[in-house]
Amino acid sequence: MRLSQLFGKTLRQDPAEAETASHRLMLRAGLIHPIAAGVYSMLPLGLRSYRKIERVIREEMDAAGGQELSMPALQPIELWQQTGRHGAFGQTLFTFQDRKERLLCLAPTHEEVVTTLVSLNVQSYRDLPQLLYQIQTKFRDEQRPRAGLIRVREFAMKDAYSFDVDADALDATYRRVFQAYKNIFARCGLPAVPVEADSGAIGGKDSQEFMLLAESGEDEILRCSGCGYAANVERAAFVKPPAPNDAERPLEKVATPGKKTIEEVAAFLGVKPEQTLKAVFHAADGKVVFVVIRGDLEVNEVKLRNALKCADLRLATDEEVRGAGLVAGYASPIGVKGVRVVGDDSIALGANFVAGANLDGHHYKNANYPRDFTVALLTDIAKARAGDTCARCGKGAFESMRGIEVGHVFKLGTIFSEKLGASFLDKDGQKKPIIMGCYGIGVGRLLAAAVEQNHDEKGIMWPAPIAPYHVHMVGLQLDNPQVGPAAEKLYVDLQATGLDVLFDDRAESPGVKFNDADLLGMPLRVTVSPRTLKTQSVELKRRSEAQARNVPLAEAVAAVRQAVDEASRAATGRPAA
Ligand SMILES: [Zn+2]
């Protein structure tokens, strides 16, 4: 491709709206272009990388026994009402009426359609297993689209769905797809880390996310320094630290004027935060829930939502708290009426806690569970933090890192097959629901995450396997009678070996051309100029290295091929395709 003809211009200045490196660089390099909040065109350079990722995904999914199909984005709302997800997705689901006033939606995912398809095409155990996938456009009306292709409202996703006869068969399929995912990320030169993930209120079982580590990532991951257990912070299981567990003393009301926060009350009464109980108020599907947790811990909203099995969870407003008859800052689980109380199991680890007295300016000392108060639900709803002890090995401490979720594998079980009547007859002629799994990769997001993870202050540094072009050829003074023909010949010869070559044939200064080569980030830069031709050579420079080297013109094609293969091997352990 000649850069003079390439559609999409590079920008000299950083776009004002860009929040993250990938957003800024993808706009500056002319890979994407926004048309509305969270809606982008993919320009030719961006699409080349995208297609390379797609090809790897197809090859690995096919190798894992997958069959590609294509399902519609436009779907009748009745299908979503049947599974109850019309409500669960809430405003994230794009809905609208057609001319006959029928309600339709633009699908954010395809469990409903694929399960319906399978229910009509599978009768017997002989028709199973099936692994179906597509690479298709999805829609989510995100409240806050952000960071370029990281969080968008229209996006491409590879979604796969598996259908098996029993849990063992699902395990085998899940392991196969998991391995395919590892292969996909490795072949793209993107080392994604699998972590345990929350399986959500949907009630699935195993669930793992693939994370690309990056500072700007919106997910927090905790990894045990001892055993290597890694989990999304939403999910991470940890050992709660002990608290003094003396014999229970009599409940005592004390004045704590103006002391409302845990820190203030603990300091005033001379106790540690773990000797206090914290009251936190949430609204679950609009109803106030009183959450009580030990003062040194924080509530994990994902664990709480799962425990409450609610669709919508948020902090309650002051008005809602007052309306429930609670005194903010002094609210107490003791004597509370008419409000659902949920306790973190940490309240049973320790004794003689300081708790609110539900009276302005007062607290209780020596509050004990369950002697002084009860809860409707006692479970783990606390958030693990860096430094906490790993529950897997009971020894190592968690370290925190940030990542971008690029893939998700999930054992669904029979939730969808039961609701949509997808069943089969087993060997004994008995009707059973099909056991499902689902598996996603955000293709555009993976592209953005690749840039997020591979860049420097000058621009993108593509992993060789997914670079739009392998080689960025720079011709300087192409009107020079030696340079022009030599560069044209090299351009043709390099392409003849199967390499993807971008040829900067513009009449620009060397500074502009080299800056654009750094910004666009192809793995190898090859420069032909009057100076290199004086010694019958060309200059080779890896994007990842500062030093350039000269190779004889006669050996240029072989040397470039070798350098591209080396860059590819460095990223994936294999030569370039
Ligand atoms: Zn551990």
Query: How far, in Å, from the CA of 62 to the mean position of ligand 1?
Result: 35
Residue 385 lies in a domain: no
Cα 303 to ligand 1 centroid, rounded to whole Å: 20
Are 433 and 548 in the same domain?
Answer: no
Ligand 1 centroid, distance to 385 Cα (angstroms): 14
- Residue 396 Cα, ligand 1 centroid: separation in angstroms? 5
Q: 562: CA distance to ligand 1 center in Å? A: 43
Residue 48 Cα, ligand 1 centroid: separation in angstroms?
41
Assess whether 469 and 416 both reside in one domain. no
On whether residue 245 sits in a domain, the answer given is: no
Per residue in 460-487, pLDDT (tens digit) is 999 999 999 999 999 999 999 999 999 9
Residue 111 — φ and ψ, nearest 5°? -60, -40
- Indicate if 41 and 70 belong to the same structural domain: yes
Residue 395: inside a domain, yes or no?
no
Distance 387 CA to ligand 1 centre (A): 12
- pLDDT mean across residues, the chain: 92
Give me the CATH number covering residue 40. Answer: 3.30.930.10
CA of 405 to the centre of ligand 1 (A): 22
Query: Would 458 be classed as within a structural domain?
Result: no
- What is the predicted pLDDT for the residue at 204? 56
Q: Do residues 295 and 442 both lie within one domain? A: no
Domain annotation covers residue 208: yes
* Position 441 confidence tier, pLDDT thresholds 50, 70, 90: very high
Which alpha helices (H) appear in 324-461, and where do they start and end? 415-419, 443-453
Closest CA to 95 of 111, 112, 117, 80: 80
Q: What is the pLDDT of residue 200?
A: 60
Ligand 1 center to residue 399 CA distance, Å? 11
Would 1 be classed as within a structural domain? Answer: no
**480 and 439 co-located in one domain:** no
> pTM surpassing 0.85?
yes
> Do both 489 and 519 map to the same domain?
yes
Q: Is the pLDDT of residue 577 over 80?
A: no
Co-location of 123 and 143 in the same domain: yes
Whether residue 345 is contained in a domain is answered as: yes
| 373 and 406 together in one domain | no
Do 20 and 150 fall within a single domain? yes
Protein residues within 5 Å, CB atom, of ion ligand 1: 224, 226-227, 229, 390, 392-393, 396
Give me the CATH number covering residue 333.
Answer: 3.90.960.10
Q: Final residue of a domain: which of 320, 350, 379?
A: 379
**pLDDT value of residue 145:** 87
User: Any idea what the CATH number is for the domain that residue 493 is in?
Assistant: 3.40.50.800
114 lies in the same domain as 195: yes
User: Is residue 8 one of the residues assigned to a domain?
Assistant: no
Domain that holds residue 544: 464-572
Q: How far is the CA of 17 from the centre of ligand 1 (A)?
A: 41
- Residue-wise pLDDT tens digits, 398-421: 999 999 999 999 999 998 999 999
CA of 198 to the centre of ligand 1 (A): 18
Task: Report the DSSP beta bridge partners of residue 551.
Answer: 538
Asked whether residue 209 falls in the same domain as residue 323, the answer is: no
- The total of structural domains in the chain comes to 3
Distance 167 CA to ligand 1 centre (A): 27
> With helix as H, strand as E and coil as C, how does 469-535 read?
CCEEEEECCCCCCCHHHHHHHHHHHHHHCCCCEEEECCCCCHHHHHHHHHHHCCCEEEEECHHHHHC
My answer on whether 320 and 202 are in the same domain is no
Separation CA 34–CA 227 (nearest Å): 44
